[in-house]
Amino acid sequence: MHRTLTLLCAWILSGVSVAAAQTRGPKVFISVDMEGIWGVVHSNQVSDASPEYAAARKWMADDVNAVIAGLLEAGAGEIVVNDSHGSMRNIPADLLNPKASLISGSPKPLSMMQGIDATFDAVMFVGYHARAGTVASILDHTISSGTIRAIRINGQELPEMGINAAIAAYYKVPVVMLSGDVETCAQAKALFGDGPVTAAVKEATGRYAARMFPQDEARARLKAAAKEALGRRSTIPAFRLTAPFTFEVEFLNAGQAEMPLMLGAVKRASARSVTFTAGDYIEGFKLLRAIIALAAS
């Protein structure tokens, strides 16, 4: 009798677990940078050494909370937010919607994509910026404004959104939404096609100046874009690159190419650039991060 009851309970609990899994809403990963957040136009606003930083931290939380609100209306289940700017301790934890979890701090092995894995259904990039060398985009750069001139993978120059989207694709997860300034959204369309939904919150007139869209309008755009994007997730392909992956890192000056050559896989491609090839994208990305750290030293 005891064994029968045990088996019966196990069967019932199994059914409950299956039902719960079937009714769980989509699991969403959000990577949040700061340069593309509403209100931000200058490096002082994104640096913790500046008195302007406190206001930008709140704007950052407000932007991502607008996205979370749209996701919840669309039926999202688990939502994970990865703070992805600088020290990665920008979003005040108590200002984030309590229905989402926050990954904070650095260094992190996958940096701006820390926490992503194959259990997620969709990825969203909030507050992103354009690649280094872009005209009329707020604080354009690629990973390190003091070190990197360009990063190319298999010959294609990629902004952070592309490098990070390929990490998501490694786990077969599509990027379904991106927000930032108008030019950053245009770069997303050029890189990913018409798949991801974009939400511009400002229009840059230079590297340090922009016209902010009305605050309520900008946040409404973010909410609506998140809601639409989650509904379209099954139609949006992941951003896949083809193995093997040849990385080329072009620095701002020739001296920055010297220290990375201490790594055996890294070869000099020109006076101020190095290259290496990886069969696994994640391993290649980690080596890329190590190269940038060495160059900055």
Residue 38 neighbours by CB under 8 Å, 6+ apart: 59, 62, 63, 201, 202, 212, 213, 215, 218, 219
> What tokens appear for 77 in the block?
């289940």
Q: Say how many C-beta atoms besides its own lie within 10 A of residue 153's C-beta.
A: 22
Gap between the Cα atoms of 211 and 191, Å rounded: 24
Residue 185 and residue 195 in contact, taking contact as beta carbons nearer than 8 Å: no
Phi-psi region of 154 (alpha: psi -120 to 50; beta: other; left: phi over 0): left
Residue 278 neighbours by CB under 8 Å, 6+ apart: 244, 245, 247, 265, 284, 287
Residue 77 neighbours by CB under 8 Å, 6+ apart: 24, 25, 26, 27
> What tokens appear for 26 in the block?
């989509």
Gap between the Cα atoms of 190 and 184, Å rounded: 10
Residue 253 neighbours by CB under 8 Å, 6+ apart: 272
Q: Phi and psi of 264, rounded to 5°? A: -60, -35
Within 13 A of 63's CA, how many CA atoms are on the CB side? 37
List, by residue number, the catalytic residues: 141
